[in-house]
Structure 1
Amino acid sequence: MRAFVITAPGEGSVQEVEAPRAEPGEVVVDVERVGICGTDLEFHTGHMAYLRSGHARYPMRIGHEWMGTVSAVGDGVDPGWIGRRVMGDTMLGCGHCRRCLRGDQHVCEGRQEVGIRGHRHGALAEQLTVPATSLHALPDALDPAAGAMVEPGGNALRAVQGADLSPGDRVLIMGPGTIGLLCALFARAAGAEVHVLGLPGPDLEFARSLGLANAWTQDTLPDLPLDAVIDAAISSELPAWALSRVEPGGRVVFIGIAGEPSRLDSRDLVLGDVTAVGVLSASPALGETIALYAAGTVDPRPLIAATISLDEVAGVLAGNRPTGAGTSTESGTAASGGGAGVGPKIHIDPRLRGDLG
């Protein structure tokens, strides 16, 4: 089968690789849609921390925001999965440790992460294998585009849940990339007054096109009391700034990861009686995200700028957006964005062939 393989920093191409086989407890999925995110770009540049820690190594087959149809099952798996449309959890715990047994497999020390960690091949390919226990069935109401947005949506939903918003609460979301914008949509659906912070330019224009009228820069943000702040940006300076802006008794949620360490003064947390929440993965919220998408509570599809073939992935990872898809990449979620009216997300359909422009 065809798969996109990163062989070294800045080097990746579509290769013919051996088609996967379902081992006991696993399924083979025919991939229909995959999203590219900032983690994928970090592997392409060589900056991903797992490459230094030994949790990942080249060659890498990336892609963890996916949906597809189960085409084969291994021993011990219900054959009823065959033909079902699914997406899957990225985080694959060992299943035996204390964390896994408590339902926290997404923080299992020995976990694999699809397309990220433990050399578990990702979904930028015509097929992939995953444990059947990681699958979530997709209802007919969700098309492939929405199905492949469940994983980033689950991350955003967990961040909004961490903010513990009530109707009428005011929340500031920093970073108008995919996760930040999904946070804004979920927070709005929860009845919050949503404000979005970014740099001047297309990102904020696109946020406004989604009906998020309160889109600001640091210079233009009104001096309003903020009940919660969600940091979905990649700036090492913003976490401390967020803590300085949230109301006493409020909550700050951290889901963006900067390339350099961020510094917080714990005295500000204590004296402000502020709750700080970190969010690692979508795992605990995948089912709820699917239900909210299917009900039409949140529609993630406007965030998708283009759908391309595997042959175009190398160009996108190198920073070249498809025609009409603007100029941003997921690595620029803190600042740069696509053209006005263009979303930040690029999807791949592995069934397509050639450069679609």
Structure 2
Amino acid sequence: MMRALVLTGPGAAEVREVPAPVAGPGQVVVEVERAGVCGTDVELFTGEMSYLHSGVSSYPLRPGHEWSGTVREAGAGVDASWLGRRVTGDTMIGCGHCRRCVGGRHHVCPERHELGIRDGLAGALAERLAFPANRLHVLPDGVDATAGALVEPAGNAQRCVDAAALAAGERLLVLGTGTIGLLTAMLARARGVEVHLLGQELAFARSLGFAESWTRGSLPSLPWDAVVDATNAASMPALAVDLVEPGRRVVCIGLSGAPSMIDTRDAVLKDVTAVGILGASAGLAPAIEAFASGAVDPRPLVAATVSLDEAAAVLAGRRPATAGPGPKILIDPRRTIEGYA
């Protein structure tokens, strides 16, 4: 048996003793060292997540899709060299044989699993995790467990930077100063892009070296070569289209609780390209490389690392008393409230 966080209904979660996973054919079992809590996990906890209403996710549900750990077991057909390796993995796990998977778009496979999100594959807010070996990514020695758990959000951010299609010296405006927004800013800066941020709480962003951080009222009138919307505000996509330079790109990764509207007349008359980002898949390897090379250090984003027993409180919106200013809370499933077991 092992301990795992289980969401039992809207606003209800508890740590339970559950059967420890066994590595099936093509799978490994990973001892989880860190798992991140993100907005998707919060929406699954509150019951607001759209997947709960469309039927692809249901309670009881075991969340967690941002993680790092060490391979402890290998199933049939898995190379034994995986044993003992430090890894993270791709949240989006396609069927492998449909038209989308064959075409390199497994992250939008209609039959995909999403680790800890859709039904079918229990998540990483647990002591151990069963995971397909063909979706693992090795963590180099220079990427510790904390940074490893930030690879998945960084992969999403990397895809935002790629989609913005900017050259060094061009100007990017990132809407939102949460984890994805800040990681997008950090990865873009590492490419030589001039980065500006728009948000409400700006002190932490400025502490990371983003002096050009603005509120809506103080935002300067500058030509924005690309705009990334990493917020959950319904008004932001339209603002992004309004602000971006004609002929350039708006990248949308944030999801609002209410429908967001873009006037297509604005997009057409400005010849704007709008790109939606779902999943980190294509961004995972370059994100790991950015961390390993030292071009980006994501660890300052972590406000606290707490035990599995404290995860429900974090999902309910309570921050640990000792938390720093960063936006990310990590869970160490090996830890008890008193310390390490």
TM-score interval (norm. to shorter): over 0.9
Query: 1:1-357, aligned counterparts within 5 Å?
Result: 1-199=2-200, 203-325=201-323, 342-354=325-337
Asked if the contact 1:60–1:119 (Cα under 8 Å) also holds between the matched residues in 2, the reply is: no
Q: What is the total number of aligned residue pairs between the two structures?
A: 338
Paired residue for 1:333?
none
Asked if the contact 1:251–1:276 (Cα under 8 Å) also holds between the matched residues in 2, the reply is: yes
Q: Distance in 1 between matches of 2:14 and 2:327?
A: 23
SS at match of 1:51: helix
Q: Which amino acid aligns with 1:163?
A: A
Shift of 1:355: 5.5
Deviations 1:324-349 (A, max 9, x none): 226xxxxxxxxxxxxxxx11000011
Percent identity of equivalent pairs: 60
Deviations 1:5-53 (A, max 9, x none): 0100111011000000111111100000000000000011000000011
Asked if the contact 1:57–1:119 (Cα under 8 Å) also holds between the matched residues in 2, the reply is: no
Deviations 1:192-247 (A, max 9, x none): 11110012xxx310000000001111111011111110000000111011101111
Shift of 1:256: 0.5
Q: Distance in 2 between matches of 1:270 and 1:320?
A: 43
Deviations 1:85-111 (A, max 9, x none): 000000000001000001110000000
Shift of 1:354: 2.0
Q: Distance in 2 between matches of 1:190 and 1:288?
A: 12
Paired residue for 1:339?
none
Asked if the contact 2:199–2:213 (Cα under 8 Å) also holds between the matched residues in 1, the reply is: yes
Asked if the contact 2:175–2:227 (Cα under 8 Å) also holds between the matched residues in 1, the reply is: yes
Q: Distance in 2 between matches of 1:79 and 1:272?
A: 55
SS at match of 1:298: coil
Shift of 1:119: 2.8
> Which one is further off, 347-356 or 115-124?
347-356
Q: Distance in 2 between matches of 1:316 and 1:78?
A: 37
Q: TM-score scaled by structure 1?
A: 0.93
Asked if the contact 2:61–2:119 (Cα under 8 Å) also holds between the matched residues in 1, the reply is: no
Asked if the contact 1:111–1:118 (Cα under 8 Å) also holds between the matched residues in 2, the reply is: no
Q: Distance in 1 between matches of 2:300 and 2:44?
A: 26
SS at match of 1:253: strand
Q: Which amino acid aligns with 1:41?
A: V
Q: Distance in 2 between matches of 1:297 and 1:31?
A: 26
Which ranges of structure 2 fall in alignment gaps of 5 or more residues?
none
Q: Distance in 2 between matches of 1:48 and 1:355?
A: 33
Runs of 4+ in 1 over 4 A off after TM superposition: none
Paired residue for 1:336?
none
Q: Distance in 2 between matches of 1:32 and 1:63?
A: 12
Q: Distance in 2 between matches of 1:314 and 1:129?
A: 22
Paired residue for 1:332?
none
Q: Distance in 2 between matches of 1:272 and 1:307?
A: 45
Q: Distance in 2 between matches of 1:299 and 1:124?
A: 24
Asked if the contact 1:34–1:348 (Cα under 8 Å) also holds between the matched residues in 2, the reply is: yes
Q: Which amino acid aligns with 1:282?
A: A
Q: Distance in 2 between matches of 1:324 and 1:80?
A: 40
RMSD of aligned alpha carbons = 0.9
Q: Distance in 2 between matches of 1:289 and 1:218?
A: 30
Which ranges of structure 1 fall in alignment gaps of 5 or more residues?
327-341
Shift of 1:118: 2.6
Q: TM-score scaled by structure 2?
A: 0.98
Q: Distance in 2 between matches of 1:54 and 1:26?
A: 26
SS at match of 1:289: helix
Shift of 1:274: 1.1
SS at match of 2:187: helix
SS at match of 1:184: helix
